[in-house]
Amino acid sequence: MTAAVLSPLIPFRSRRPLPGFGLSLGLGMAWLGVVVLLPLLALAVRAAGLGSDGWLRAIHDPRVQAALKLSFGAALVAALLALVAGAIVAWVLVRYRFPGRRVLDALVDLPFALPTAVAGIALTAIYSGNGWVGRFTEAAGLKIAYTPIGIVIALVFIGLPFAVRTVQPVLEALGHEQEEAAASLGASRFTTLRRVILPELLPALLTGFSLAFARALGEYGSVIFIAGNKPYATEIAPLLITIRLEEYDYNGAIAIAALLLAASFVCLLAINAIPSLFAHERREKPHG
Amino acid sequence: MADSNVDGALHSPTWLRTALIVLAVLIMLGLVVLPLLMVLGAAFGEGFKAWWAALREPDARSALRLTLFTAAIVIPVNAVFGTLMAWAVTRFEFRFKKLLLSLIDLPFAVSPVVAGLCLVLLFSTTHGWFAGLLETWNVRILFARPGIVLATLFITFPFVVRELIPLMQQQGSDEELAARSLGAGAWTMFRRVTLPNIKWGLLYGVLLCGARSMGEFGAVSVVSGHIRGLTNTLPLHIEILYNEFDSTAAFAAASLLSGLALVTLIIKFWLEARHGDALAKTHRRH
């Protein structure tokens, strides 16, 4: 039964067959406006009010530049690593059956459920000089905690569920038909992976990467413990915002925050644009 | 010839299978399970008594109370407004719907610290937009409970509504239209048709929202002011203890939040296994 069939049956004359449009949209928008949009608007307006002078001063600060470089660089590396690790985990979870598979599947969400501060102190304890892993790596000359490597590890931890959970449903839906077709036409396993599976997975991989990158760029709690927070070396941009705030340098904090917010917008736009981009490409190919 | 090729491509040889499974298990053990073990090991390293003493300390108890207080406000607010928003988005057509959907996702992408800063720019008594109003009414939002609640609301905004939208889209409005055509009032329709249909999805969203609201750190850290015994949530309490080198107490508090995360995962696992049909398709695991 569709809306068109049922609407004449509805007792009172109403353009919309279901009730509550004004109420639900009105209250929903009020909630969105007060909780999310108004605060973000405050930042946008204050950032616009900085003027070219304020912006130049903020951006030319070498400490800000170092923090932004570190944040973007570490987020990029971590999102790529999380994507590779996540794709392997998703593949194994979807394609193979082995004891403990469901437990492994449930554990994927742990970084999502574990509070970031908890993850932060745990990772620091593991990778610092006397930690379970750190003592071996430092004996071998590799310092992890309080270096950018530690930051990347924390960000991979945070990004992993995003990568797994975007790739997994696509792999599940992929089925075997196309692979069977490719194989029966003589394609090797590697060719099938490269020419059949990867193109199908590409939108999900890009989405997973964007999600992990956006999350990593803004991440604070899991990073600040393991980072060491040395200015110019291991100080991430979100931390520098809080430092500027504590110094009552509001304009300095606003400038960094506005840049991070702009980067979030770009990530969000990319995530939203990815499906339609690929749908377009597929329409153009007659038998794709 | 072709047959063996098909078989070969579809069934990975045992060595490759084993290697990939081992690799995936190692990734998960090293990256995800190890930190959890670390928390438990460090929390109970000095015995159950030290763990219990750390949690019985007055600052720890007040931090736990504030965390629960925040969750007790944030979860119902998100559940009610999330349901309303999902109803509007899935049952009606209107302009700028796509834009609205993107805006709902915003808090997922915004850094928690940026969210906290935004609230400072609104409610700071020296630099905020509402500084004058706050002074007239003599209310404190920043460095007080309302700021912590607002920051947590911002961060957890999408969880319930994002869970309900795909679910209600899949279910469609046929049953609700039938109820209406049989003469059901708006509230009866919601209570007897909509709510039973979405209850497991709602619970799923509430679960994720609750976990995040009790664990939120960055946004709350900016607006809380870290006043011991007053505006410290459990995650902030962990930070203070850790920075004071009171590692056992920090990990004891952390173990409490880890326990919460594990309970969340177990309920989530149960929901997916038992009520997968009543969740959005992406969560169904058969």
Do the Cβ atoms of A118 and B121 come within 8 Å?
A: no
What local confidence, expressed as pLDDT, does residue B3 receive?
Answer: 46
Q: Is residue A280 part of a domain?
A: no
- Which of A135-149, A269-283, B213-227 has the least mean pLDDT? A269-283
Q: How confident is the model at residue A281 (pLDDT cuts 50, 70, 90)?
A: low
pLDDT over 50 (residue A288)? no
Q: Is residue A9 part of a domain?
A: no
Tens digit of each residue's pLDDT (9 = 90 or more) over A173-208: 887 788 888 888 888 888 888 888 888 899 999 999
What local confidence, expressed as pLDDT, does residue B286 receive?
Answer: 42
B8 touching A (Cβ < 8 Å):
yes
Q: How confident is the model at residue A93 (pLDDT cuts 50, 70, 90)?
A: very high
Return per-residue pLDDT of chain B as tens, 286 residues: 444 445 554 567 889 999 999 999 999 999 999 999 999 999 999 999 999 999 999 999 999 999 999 999 999 999 999 999 999 999 999 999 989 998 998 998 999 999 999 999 999 988 899 989 998 998 899 999 999 999 999 999 999 999 999 999 999 999 999 999 999 999 999 999 999 999 999 999 999 999 999 999 999 999 998 888 889 999 999 999 999 999 999 999 999 999 999 999 999 999 998 998 889 876 655 4
Residue of chain B with shortest Cα separation from A168: B282
Question: Is there a contact between A209 and A79 (Cβ–Cβ < 8 Å)?
Answer: yes
What local confidence, expressed as pLDDT, does residue B228 receive?
Answer: 80
Do the Cβ atoms of A35 and B157 come within 8 Å?
A: yes
User: Rounded CA gap, B108 and A226, in Å?
Assistant: 23
Question: Is there a contact between B6 and A185 (Cβ–Cβ < 8 Å)?
Answer: no
- Per CB-CB distance under 8 Å, the chain A contacts of B266 are 106
What local confidence, expressed as pLDDT, does residue A273 receive?
Answer: 87
User: Rounded CA gap, A61 and A73, in Å?
Assistant: 18
User: Rounded CA gap, B251 and B60, in Å?
Assistant: 12
B282 touching A (Cβ < 8 Å):
yes
Considering only CA atoms, which of A103, A105, A78 is closest in space to residue A89? A105
B84 touching A (Cβ < 8 Å):
yes
pLDDT over 70 (residue A287)? no
- Per CB-CB distance under 8 Å, the chain B contacts of A270 are none
What local confidence, expressed as pLDDT, does residue A282 receive?
Answer: 54
Q: Which domain holds residue A113?
A: 72-235
Question: Is there a contact between B168 and B91 (Cβ–Cβ < 8 Å)?
Answer: yes
Do the Cβ atoms of A88 and B24 come within 8 Å?
A: yes
**pLDDT, average across residues A110-139:** 95
| Pairs across A and B, CB distance < 8 A | 315
Do the Cβ atoms of B257 and A118 come within 8 Å?
A: yes
Per-residue DSSP letter, A49: T
Which CB contacts under 8 angstroms, 24+ apart, belong to A132-141?
A132/B34, A132/B38, A133/B34
Do the Cβ atoms of A35 and B121 come within 8 Å?
A: no
What is the gyration radius of the CA atoms in chain B, in angstroms? 24
End-to-end, the C-alpha distance of chain B in Å comes to: 35
**pLDDT, average across residues A68-82:** 97
Q: How many residues does chain A have?
A: 288
Do the Cβ atoms of B35 and A250 come within 8 Å?
A: no
Question: Is there a contact between B199 and B160 (Cβ–Cβ < 8 Å)?
Answer: no
Count the domains in chain A.
1
What local confidence, expressed as pLDDT, does residue A230 receive?
Answer: 94
pLDDT over 80 (residue A280)? no
What local confidence, expressed as pLDDT, does residue B49 receive?
Answer: 94
Q: Is residue A119 part of a domain?
A: yes
B153 touching A (Cβ < 8 Å):
yes
Do the Cβ atoms of B92 and A18 come within 8 Å?
A: yes
Q: How many residues does chain B have?
A: 286
Q: How confident is the model at residue A221 (pLDDT cuts 50, 70, 90)?
A: very high
- Of chain B, the percentage scoring pLDDT greater than 70 comes to 94
For residue A96, what is the domain's CATH number? 1.10.3720.10
Do the Cβ atoms of A183 and B34 come within 8 Å?
A: no
Q: Is residue A52 part of a domain?
A: no
Report residue B134 as tokens: 């706050």
Do the Cβ atoms of A116 and B85 come within 8 Å?
A: no
What local confidence, expressed as pLDDT, does residue A1 receive?
Answer: 44
Which of A36, A46, A221 is nearest residue B217 as measured by Cβ atoms? A221
Do the Cβ atoms of A3 and B173 come within 8 Å?
A: yes
User: Rounded CA gap, B267 and B265, in Å?
Assistant: 6
- Amino acid at the residue A114: L
Which of A23, A114, A261 is nearest residue B114 as measured by Cβ atoms? A261
Do the Cβ atoms of A118 and B178 come within 8 Å?
A: no
User: Rounded CA gap, B281 and B274, in Å?
Assistant: 14
For domain B46-283, the CATH architecture is: Orthogonal Bundle (1.10)
Q: Is residue A60 part of a domain?
A: no
List the single best residue of B14, B23, B31 to mutate versus A (max A Cβ within 10 A): B31
Q: Is residue A33 part of a domain?
A: no
User: Rounded CA gap, A174 and A202, in Å?
Assistant: 12
Per-residue CA distances from A231 to A62, A108, A123, A142 (Å): 10, 34, 21, 21
Which residues of chain B are in CATH 1.10.3720.10 domains?
46-283
- Amino acid at the residue A128: S
Report residue B272 as tokens: 């997916």
Residue of chain B with shortest Cα separation from A171: B282
Report residue B187 as tokens: 């509230």
Which of B21, B27, B35 is nearest residue A122 as measured by Cβ atoms? B35
Tens digit of each residue's pLDDT (9 = 90 or more) over B38-84: 999 999 999 999 999 999 999 999 999 999 999 999 999 999 999 99
What local confidence, expressed as pLDDT, does residue A13 receive?
Answer: 44
List the single best residue of B22, B32, B173 to mutate versus A (max A Cβ within 10 A): B32
User: Rounded CA gap, B96 and A229, in Å?
Assistant: 43
What local confidence, expressed as pLDDT, does residue B175 receive?
Answer: 94
To which residue do tokens 């405050």 refer? A42
- Amino acid at the residue A123: L
Question: Is there a contact between A157 and A110 (Cβ–Cβ < 8 Å)?
Answer: no
> Residue A57 burial (CB < 10 Å; 0-12/13-18/19+)?
middle
Tens digit of each residue's pLDDT (9 = 90 or more) over A2-13: 455 554 444 444
- Per CB-CB distance under 8 Å, the chain B contacts of A125 are 38, 42, 247, 251
User: Rounded CA gap, B31 and B215, in Å?
Assistant: 19
What local confidence, expressed as pLDDT, does residue A145 receive?
Answer: 94
Do the Cβ atoms of B111 and A218 come within 8 Å?
A: yes
